[in-house]
Amino acid sequence: MTDRDRVVETARSVVAEHPPATTPQRAFLGACFDAGLAWVHFPEGFGGLGVAPGLQAVADGILQGAGGPNPFWLNPMGYGMAGPTVMAHASRELAAQLLRPDYVCDEIWCQLFSEPGAGSDLAGLATRAVRDGDTWVVTGQKVWTSNAHKARRALLLARTDPDQPKHRGLTYFVLDMTDPGVEVRPLRQMTGEAEFNEVYLREARIPDAHRLGEVGQGWHVAMTTLMNERTAIGGGSSVRGSGSIGTALRLWRERPDLRTPALRERLVHLFARADAARLTGDRQRAEAGERIGPEGSIGKLVGAELNQDVHEWCMDALGVEATLYSGYEPRPDGSPPPVEGEDRQRMFLRSRANTIEGGTSEVLRTILGERLLGLPGDLRADTGRPWSEVPRG
Amino acid sequence: MTDRDRVVETARSVVAEHPPATTPQRAFLGACFDAGLAWVHFPEGFGGLGVAPGLQAVADGILQGAGGPNPFWLNPMGYGMAGPTVMAHASRELAAQLLRPDYVCDEIWCQLFSEPGAGSDLAGLATRAVRDGDTWVVTGQKVWTSNAHKARRALLLARTDPDQPKHRGLTYFVLDMTDPGVEVRPLRQMTGEAEFNEVYLREARIPDAHRLGEVGQGWHVAMTTLMNERTAIGGGSSVRGSGSIGTALRLWRERPDLRTPALRERLVHLFARADAARLTGDRQRAEAGERIGPEGSIGKLVGAELNQDVHEWCMDALGVEATLYSGYEPRPDGSPPPVEGEDRQRMFLRSRANTIEGGTSEVLRTILGERLLGLPGDLRADTGRPWSEVPRG
Amino acid sequence: MVEFEFTPEQRDLRAVAREFCTERFAGPEVRRLVETPDGFDREVWRRLGRDVGLLGLALPEELGGAGAGLVDLALVAEEFGRAVAPAPLVGTVALAATALRLAGDDGTAEELLPAIAEGEAVVALAATDDRGAWAPAQPTVRATRTDSGWRLTGEQAHVLDGAAADAVLVLATTETGTGLFAVDGAADGLTREPLSVLDLTRRLARLRYADVPARAVGEPGQAATAVAGARDVAAVVLAAEAVGGAQRLLDMSVEYARTRLQFGRAIGSFQAVKHRCADMLVDVEHARSVAYHAAWAQDAGTDDPRVAADLATTVTAEAYLRVAKNTVQVHGGIGFTWEHPTHLYYKRAVGDAALLGGRAAAAERLAAAVLDGPALGGVA
Amino acid sequence: MVEFEFTPEQRDLRAVAREFCTERFAGPEVRRLVETPDGFDREVWRRLGRDVGLLGLALPEELGGAGAGLVDLALVAEEFGRAVAPAPLVGTVALAATALRLAGDDGTAEELLPAIAEGEAVVALAATDDRGAWAPAQPTVRATRTDSGWRLTGEQAHVLDGAAADAVLVLATTETGTGLFAVDGAADGLTREPLSVLDLTRRLARLRYADVPARAVGEPGQAATAVAGARDVAAVVLAAEAVGGAQRLLDMSVEYARTRLQFGRAIGSFQAVKHRCADMLVDVEHARSVAYHAAWAQDAGTDDPRVAADLATTVTAEAYLRVAKNTVQVHGGIGFTWEHPTHLYYKRAVGDAALLGGRAAAAERLAAAVLDGPALGGVA
């Protein structure tokens, strides 16, 4: 029996024994995990079957095709980033403890990387972790944290040695968000709602057993997480006309009264760009297998700028209606008010962050230039200098 | 009598005594020079009247309004750049010797600044000038020289001390282009013709008396020349619809068969940009008087990119006709073949150089960012190091 | 009047306006005002009119104004724009006052214009249809003459300052054509629904007229001219506001790029940021030139005023939008937050681009003038 | 056939094509060829057909071809494009051979296609009108049936490879509609005027027919289909050539940016240059995706072939132009010289954008398909 057959058979029997329609979500996900369909390339007993990562799509096709939930949407940081990072860098005991609650969504995860003083320059972060026997004491401020208010656990990158050059003094931890030293504050954005949080850490404590990787190896561990993030953001869809361009195409179809030759001309070129981006994602996946390397940054870069251009087109098309807004007051859970149809003005405002979040377009262009094209690095003010001596602000 | 009245009266009497229609060009220009109307702000006896530079436009209005020649078009480097540089930095004797032949176009000038290895980084140039008693011996290669094949004299920037940091080891000279050590080769460009030259200097000799400014002060002197160049290039016209946008507007008017809504939309936005640039030039002149500082770089930057966009529009409008060309074979004088109407394909190809010549758009954006906005400089690999130790290639 | 040369008096005027805006429209105050129902402060508005005298600048002296021109008003507007000041400058001073001035009705003008100049009256020009389209050929409000005077029935959307206005100047259809009518803000039968707007610094309302008593303003034939003239003035005011706003964003971006350190150096030392700021500078300079030019074109006839106004709208709207987008990008995440002022400017730029028919319509009129008609002065 | 997955045979084919182009279309050779009257080398063309077997790739085996698909031809075209090879690939192999294949005339096909595959016959498809417009509804050449067979009269402009062709396939008007006719290149009454072209690697000619003897090819009803099908194939070939050309320009730019020093450092270490190269990479990658997709769409039906072809034209034309412009800018002055290869690619990109109706027409057809019609598969 091939690995593929094994995945297919396993998925079919999970679906047969736990019909998604009648099985509670948690029970269904638990059955998937126990059957090794959570992350199929993980070892058996850790939610996997030890097969190629490309077969995850086969499993998902069957599970979600039968109506099963999508764990990425339920717990994006937990499924997409924490899982692979924990598997790669945690001890077996810690992985055994964390992976199942992650996958079945008992524990929502968030990521504590960015700081007010460390945006593009993530490795320059200042949150300090100081060892105190078998625990670490963490103090600092994190920002741009999605789901922090719902999260039980966090992926945390902190500085353990300020006297090393910046990349070398970092260590990676799993933080318990219920620790009394953790305070989460919503961060209201220009759309009105609070999708992100600020997280203040005041002597939060982490057992050394919850460290991932060696002390000082945090940057290396973080790269596992970030590569998964950019691929997830930029991966795009292989369905023509999905995503933001679909929003524009629907507006064009639904509102003949708004059409002008100039809008038509712009829209067909936006469509061409979107379709070229979509096909590029397909081609990259066909050429590289499921794991996309730095070339995945192309999709993130293009997707972000395309989203912005598409939503600008929608606003121009809406004309005077573009001046209306569904409301800036965030609801108690931080989410926007419900509207009929598509809230294009809000999507438009929201798209402004696309070229900043998950790697600014400037950083991505540098990655493309240096890692894919082999162009030389910029002159640097910080290389080789102890982090504590590099100017910050 | 005000200075303005004096300029007006002088110009009127030159025109009355030497009617441009019947006076040979050389004689007319000679009369202008002797009357102090060549560069009105120069001292008397040197082609000027010692009045404000803004009054040159008053003189030119009368002289050229009466049909007199435009010395800037006849000898651009000589009139626009050499004159002011010579006046500012040459000895009185040398100035007295050079200015009149310059203005009356007995002596055409060219500029020997750029080199194959020194483009954006002009101050990195490698042409060496070595002192030999009362003369300098110059060896090196220059490039992008307009009119070198017609020029009697050149503005030359050469390195006299390789052990100084690059800006400090340069000296500025006036070179006699008939020196046997000077070889001029036409440089064919993508349009087919050879508008520029390469100039090879092999132990060309220059008397020390033809040095402008002190030894090692060449960069400072060159700034006089370059500021005049960028202002001249970017100054633009204050006539609506002149320049490249006029070429596009004429095409639109003359060829109704080519019109489409998409071309119309693009053209009106190009027109708006061109008119905004034109008005910005007018406003800068009104605010700053005739001397425009680094803000003149705005006009050069915008004009170059606008030219390219306008000529692309023309090519798109021409459709299949854009695939034709009036010929790549240069005529003996290096100029293109004559065509009926406007040679838009050639203008299109030629515009490709606009964002390179006279300061690349990259350099200009850096000037705007640093000199006008006060942003900090880039990290540098060459500051403070002897020129001879800075990597080149 | 030499184009682009301000008189010393105009420079003083700018200083007065800037000082007032700095004091009264500081960032925290603007953020407070945008969360209030009216969106502006009546008392501040009164002070602007009565004490500082900025609201009647462009009105004739005999009607309580200063008799100055649009260049002066544009200078004030630029300072308002710099502060992204929430106040009915465009709706009342530019649109309503101009329409009143041009409507050919001395009585109404004498009644309302001095009150506008004093900051006592907020007046809206309701010249949209029921979907918000500007200056419709067929207004969706109908005016009927009854024994007790004119009565209005119908609906209008996207009326600038329509909810707060003490009086509304309504473009309505009559049996003999289109006319302007004055309605009291508290009139019976008038309901005003504030719209939920993207740009909280400019409030829009939907007005419903159910047999509302109204007074005819001027001759019917004048209405279209008055509304078009009001738009031309408002286009200049909007353009000047955009210049001030864009300049302020550029200043903020440069300051941030100079002081924000990443990778051990100021981010403004990176070419990606520096060149972005250079592009913003070009946009601001172009915007300034066309906005001032449009003001001078109306005051001094240096150009066809309508062409100059449409040019100003086309160039400034795009420049403001682009500068605002670049400002968010230069600031990174912080520029996306509610607490940071950038979003107020960004939304202002987005909203302005759709006002008075919008920038697409301005570009279309410009195209008609430059490309379709006989050659413009100087245009080959 | 999984989209975007090349077989080992296809990889070998690419290697063969690249080796041939590297050997036969090196820079100095291309510069020599573009200054010759025909613009290409007959002997090299024969070798391509007879010895290397690249010209009959997409033709049926029974007609001397390899029976492979458009994906294979696209791979070869990409390598031709990388070398900016001056050769009648588009005119003869893509346009004329496809039209012959689709015209429904076995006799003519059996006569000409094997000769095309062998590199013996250069055939042009003359499907323009007398102003160069592609595939006119009313062709400007008239075909008349006489006792001694068909005769052609009229004129066509911008015929690709029209001057060098051994035979010309002419789109002409007949009494019963539009038809295709084969004309011998040396026929009496045919005059061929080479046009002075911008892109010297693709030659265009004006053909004048004065009572020229011709042979009807296929049924009149088939002509439009044959020409449209030829265009779809040629669009893919042009797109693939653009991919190769753009990739070569990017490679050159990166190499130059890595090695050219200014200010004591490689210019590619500056963000302005580095980010420009990154944008070029995006353009190349997008171009590659749509070009391959268009080939697969025709071979494997992964998409509507015409939509895929128009998408490919729209995206690759713009990408190639932009990459070429950026290449000049990265190289600075040297990239503007005649001696440097960049201008050959730049002019190729400019010329391609106007061929076969041009990129504007492709975008228009794409808009009609995506925006005007019923929703495309997957398009909401």
Question: Mean per-residue pLDDT for C188-195?
Answer: 98
Question: Mean per-residue pLDDT for C89-103?
Answer: 96
Q: Tell me the pLDDT band of D178, cut-offs 50, 70 and 90.
A: very high
Question: Mean per-residue pLDDT for D225-232?
Answer: 96
- Interface touch B323/D198, C-beta < 8 Å: yes
Q: Does the pLDDT value for residue A236 go beyond 80?
A: no
Which domains, and CATH codes, for chain C?
8-122 (1.10.540.10), 124-223 (2.40.110.10), 225-372 (1.20.140.10)
- Interface touch B272/C269, C-beta < 8 Å: no
Instruction: Identify the three-state secondary structure at position B114.
Output: coil
Q: Which of the pair, B63 or D63, is modelled with greater confidence?
A: B63
Q: Which of B107, B193, B229, B295 is catalytic?
A: B229
Q: For residue A237, what pLDDT is reported?
A: 58
Q: What value does the mean pLDDT of chain A take?
A: 93
- Write the secondary structure of chain A as one string of H (helix), E (strand) and C (coil): CCHHHHHHHHHHHHHHHCCCCCCCHHHHHHHHHHHCCCCCCCCCCCCCCCCCHHHHHHHHHHHHHCCCCCHHHHCHHHHHHHHHHHHHHCCHHHHHHHHHHHHCCCCCEEEECCECCECCCHHHCCCEEEEECCEEEEEEEEEEEECCCCCCEEEEEEECCCCCEHHHHEEEEEEECCCCCEEEEEECECCCCCCEEEEEEEEEEEEHHHEECCCCCHHHHHHHHHHHHHHHHHCCCCCCCCCHHHHHHHHHHHCHHHCCHHHHHHHHHHHHHHHHHHHHHHHHHHHHCCCCCCCHHHHHHHHHHHHHHHHHHHHHHHHHHHHECCCCCCCCCCCCCCCCCCCHHHHHHHHCCCCCCCCCHHHHHHHHHHHHCCCCCCCCCCCCCEHHHCCCC
Q: For residue A131, what pLDDT is reported?
A: 97
- Tens-digit pLDDT profile for residues C113-145: 999 999 999 999 999 999 999 999 999 999 999
Q: Tell me the pLDDT band of D237, cut-offs 50, 70 and 90.
A: very high
Q: Report the gap between the CA of C262 and the closest CA in chain A (Å).
A: 6
C264 close contact with B: CB closer than 8 A: no
Question: Mean per-residue pLDDT for C351-363?
Answer: 97
Question: Mean per-residue pLDDT for C215-231?
Answer: 93
Q: For residue B229, what pLDDT is reported?
A: 60
Q: For residue C159, what pLDDT is reported?
A: 98
Size of interface B-C (CB pairs under 8 A): 141
Residues of B with CB under 8 A from a CB of C: 239-242, 246, 249-250, 252-253, 264-265, 267-269, 271-273, 275-277, 279-280, 282-283, 286-287, 295, 298, 301-302, 362, 364-366, 368-370, 372-379
Chain D residues in contact with C275 (beta carbon < 8 A):
272
Q: Does the pLDDT value for residue A238 go beyond 80?
A: no
Residues of D with CB under 8 A from a CB of C: 270-272, 275
Q: Does the pLDDT value for residue C238 go beyond 60?
A: yes
Closest CB to B276: pick one of C3, C286, C376.
Answer: C286
Q: Tell me the pLDDT band of A334, cut-offs 50, 70 and 90.
A: confident
d(CA C41, CA C88): 10
Q: For residue C90, what pLDDT is reported?
A: 97
Chain A residues in contact with D376 (beta carbon < 8 A):
240-241
CB B196 within 8 A of CB B144: yes
Chain C residues in contact with B265 (beta carbon < 8 A):
363, 367
- Tens-digit pLDDT profile for residues A161-203: 999 999 999 999 999 999 999 999 999 999 999 999 999 999 9
Q: Which of the pair, A237 or C302, is modelled with greater confidence?
A: C302
Lowest mean pLDDT among A127-136, A234-243, B350-359: A234-243
Q: For residue A296, what pLDDT is reported?
A: 83
Residues 348-377 of C with CB under 8 A from A: 350-351, 353-355, 358, 360
Structure tokens at C6: 């301000």
Q: Is B195 a catalytic residue?
A: no
Q: Which residues in chain B come in under a pLDDT of 50? A: 233-235
Q: Tell me the pLDDT band of D113, cut-offs 50, 70 and 90.
A: very high
Q: For residue A241, what pLDDT is reported?
A: 87
Q: For residue D378, what pLDDT is reported?
A: 47
- Interface touch C274/B370, C-beta < 8 Å: yes
Q: For residue B10, what pLDDT is reported?
A: 97
- Tens-digit pLDDT profile for residues D238-247: 999 999 999 9
Chain C residues in contact with A365 (beta carbon < 8 A):
272
Q: What is the chain A residue with the closest CA to D303?
A: A240
The terminus-to-terminus CA distance of chain C in angstroms comes to 27
Question: Mean per-residue pLDDT for C52-58?
Answer: 93
Question: Mean per-residue pLDDT for D317-331?
Answer: 98
Which domains, and CATH codes, for chain A?
3-69 (no CATH), 109-222 (2.40.110.10), 236-359 (no CATH)
Percent of chain C residues topping a pLDDT of 70: 98
Percent of chain C residues topping a pLDDT of 90: 93
CB D279 within 8 A of CB D246: no
Select from B279, B292, B365 the residue whose CB has the most chain C CBs within 10 Å, as the one to mutate to test that interface.
B279
Q: What value does the mean pLDDT of chain D take?
A: 95
Q: Report the gap between the CA of C192 and the closest CA in chain D (Å).
A: 38
Instruction: Identify the three-state secondary structure at position C130.
Output: coil
Q: For residue B335, what pLDDT is reported?
A: 79
CB atoms within 10 A of CB D378: 15
Among candidate residues D97, D76, D66, the one with its CA nearest the CA of residue D6 = D76
- Interface touch B273/C293, C-beta < 8 Å: no
Closest CB to B189: pick one of D199, D204, D336.
Answer: D336
Q: What's chain B's length in residues?
A: 393
Q: Which of the pair, B236 or C181, is modelled with greater confidence?
A: C181
Q: For residue B233, what pLDDT is reported?
A: 45
Among candidate residues C136, C363, C340, C374, the one with its CA nearest the CA of residue C248 = C340
Chain D residues in contact with A379 (beta carbon < 8 A):
265, 269
Select from C262, C263, C271 the residue whose CB has the most chain D CBs within 10 Å, as the one to mutate to test that interface.
C271
Q: Angle CA(C20)–CA(C313)–CA(C371) in degrees, nearest 5?
A: 160
- Interface touch D367/A369, C-beta < 8 Å: no
Q: Predicted ipTM?
A: 0.96
Q: For residue C380, what pLDDT is reported?
A: 42
d(CA C250, CA C254): 6
Give the C-alpha distances (Å, rounded to integers) separating C214 from C110, C146, C223. 17, 11, 15
Model's pTM, two decimal places?
0.95
- Tens-digit pLDDT profile for residues A266-285: 999 999 999 999 999 999 98
